[in-house]
Structure 1
Amino acid sequence: MDLDEPFRGSRAIAAGLTTRRRLRGPGFRELGRDTCVAASATVDDRMRIVAAALELPGAVVGGWSAVVVYGVDAVPGGERPIELVVGPRHLRRARAGKVLRQDVLGEHEVELVDGVPVTSPLRTALDLGSRGPHVEGVIAVDALAHAFGFGPAELLDVPVRRDNPRGRRRLVAVVGDADARAESPPETRTRLLLRGADGIPEPIPQLVVCDDGGRFVGRVDLGWRGLRTALEYQGDHHRVDKAQWRRDAVRSTELAAAGWLVLPITAHDLFVDPWGFLLRLRIALARRARELAVPSS
């Protein structure tokens, strides 16, 4: 038993690894009912989720909490309660910061991650794609499909032991907009913003760029091959991380040398001024089409 990971205090005592008095001392931190961790351990969201699962034997980590346990960087910002899936006859109420979702899971829908039962990637994607905002559902499906190598359309064939027509309709819409090639939530948000925008052709995610001699130059977040134009998301780490900033500068120069125009998109464009960004992009693509004498759409 690793005391630097969440553990049941009663089990550690029974195994002779500690005593109840020591558990109450400065060497350990209480995470929940009968769940502790060494005080020297860094407590993060994943650790809190694992502790919550240990606190409720038989529960399965699900929803966005499962995404965290799998280590997939896709969870939208903001405080989210820990989600645990329990049987339909479970009567215990959830404590603060936790949500108990009654559902029926088949054996194929549960996996052990470091000893913690978690809804399988497919089932997690199905659940998140069947409820909540459309964009968040697409982000979840994109991220899990990319990380675990399944096609979003496979979700429509996953057998589940419940009937949820409303969730099914929502899932069909999410799958229709999903693309496993996306490598980050901002890429997914950008693709959804561009989809259907007047005057803007649909870009190719993770487009491979080669020079005129066929030499590999790079892979861009989104791109239009005919227009030789790339759209790259610029997060804060691109600005504050000097090594990343240098890599971006070299990469942009290499793409420019291959005849490609690189356009940035930021969080401000996505969340604050999306319509202004679309206007600017529409103008830039039209001008690029005139420069290259190719159709803009």
Structure 2
Amino acid sequence: MLTDDARPVRAFPVRAALEHGFTPHALRSAALASPTWGVRLLQPSGEPAHDLLAALEAVRRPDQFLSHASAARIHGLPLPSRIGTLPIHLASPSRAPRMRRPDVVGHRIKARVVELGGLRVESVEDCFVHVARQLDHDELVAVGDAIVARDRPGRLDVADLAQNAERYRGARGMSLVHRALGAIRVGSESPQETRLRLILVRGGVPEPQLQVEVRDLDGRLIGRLDMAWRRLRLGVEYDGQQHRTDAVQYARDVERHRRLQDAGWQVIRVSARDLDDGGRRIVALVRAAHAQRRP
């Protein structure tokens, strides 16, 4: 549900159990968990957000659905680590009563509802609008980049997101949505790549092409660069942790970069630590490379 390692749980409302003959004493059994009042769980997973979500599924109204960051997780969208799995965001249609429980944020919103893995969740395009209030600009662009990614099942494009945003014209926080829409690009494969691209552009570097294929003189593929300026034969790559910890991947990277150099390319490799200063050093490095390689 909200975590990959959570085990299935079975939840039931206390009121229904009493009506079916369970005694209050039986419902206080140590074998049962109670993530929220009025609900008991058999075989709890021990993961609080997962167990609470299972409990809420047993007592929510049929018209209620997951929204905001909780929906984003169900849709597989990237969220910053500062946003935890709790609280759970549960929405009701406009003018309907909200749910009020500990570790639950109740909303009243308009949204198209879809079903994913047996859960009622707001659509991904509505989630993009609503989660904007929980994210900064770069984080929201990363969510948008994930929504329009080429390999995403049922992917949308930026025009789809923009068209849906018109339904919320005049709503609070829509300026954040429209600003992010203008920065979303197809081709970013991680939130870190998105952040790096936005830092470079804000620093005055011309916007790069994304996922650029480089071939040798015989037309054989050398590799694909995260972002590049083909005319300058200049590329930038974000190296995630796996590039340093996986010996096979590291060896492949070394060989690929050697072949790129032989083909006349300069590739600047960037790690998370390089962005600790807000990207100032990397921006300066990339701008200098542009100046040196400009005809």
TM-score range, shorter chain: 0.7 to 0.9
Match of 1:266 in 2: 271
Amino acid at match of 1:202: E
- Which of the residues 64, 67, 71 maps onto 2:72? 67
Match of 2:3 in 1: none
* Structure 1 residues 123-202: aligned runs within 5 Å: 123-129=126-132, 132-146=135-149, 147=152, 148-158=154-164, 163-198=169-204, 200-202=205-207
SS in 2 for 1:262: strand
Distance in 1 of aligned mates of 2:232 and 2:269: 16
Q: Percent identity?
A: 27
Distance in 2 of aligned mates of 1:94 and 1:67: 21
Q: Note if contact 2:12-2:55 (Cα within 8 Å) is conserved in structure 1.
A: no
Amino acid at match of 2:64: A
Structure 2, unmatched stretches of 5+, are: 1-5
Amino acid at match of 2:121: V
Distance in 1 of aligned mates of 2:133 and 2:80: 16
Q: Note if contact 1:49-1:65 (Cα within 8 Å) is conserved in structure 2.
A: no
Structure 1, unmatched stretches of 5+, are: none
Distance in 1 of aligned mates of 2:98 and 2:272: 41
Q: How many corresponding residue pairs?
A: 279
Q: Note if contact 2:114-2:120 (Cα within 8 Å) is conserved in structure 1.
A: yes
- Which of the residues 223, 230, 235 maps onto 2:228? 223
Match of 1:120 in 2: 123
Q: 1:103 to 1:217 in 2, by over 3 A?
A: same
* Structure 1 residues 1-297: aligned runs within 5 Å: 4-10=7-13, 21=26, 24-26=29-31, 29-33=33-37, 34=39, 36=41, 38-39=43-44, 41=45, 43=47, 49=53, 51-57=55-61, 58-72=63-77, 74-80=78-84, 81-92=87-98, 94-105=100-111, 109-129=112-132, 132-146=135-149, 147=152, 148-158=154-164, 163-198=169-204, 200-287=205-292, 289=293, 294-295=294-295
CA RMSD of aligned residues (A): 3.3
Amino acid at match of 2:79: V
Distance in 2 of aligned mates of 1:31 and 1:246: 48
Q: Note if contact 2:209-2:229 (Cα within 8 Å) is conserved in structure 1.
A: yes
SS in 1 for 2:269: strand
Distance in 2 of aligned mates of 1:257 and 1:71: 39
TM-score by length of 1: 0.78
Amino acid at match of 1:256: Q
Q: Note if contact 1:53-1:59 (Cα within 8 Å) is conserved in structure 2.
A: no
SS in 2 for 1:178: coil
Q: Note if contact 2:13-2:59 (Cα within 8 Å) is conserved in structure 1.
A: no
1:137 Cα shift?
A: 1.8
Amino acid at match of 1:100: G
Distance in 2 of aligned mates of 1:250 and 1:48: 49
Q: Deviations over 1:74-124 (max 9, x none)?
A: 11111443222113334455333332121123xxx1110111001111211
Q: 1:267 to 1:4 in 2, by over 3 A?
A: closer
Amino acid at match of 2:160: E
TM-score by length of 2: 0.79
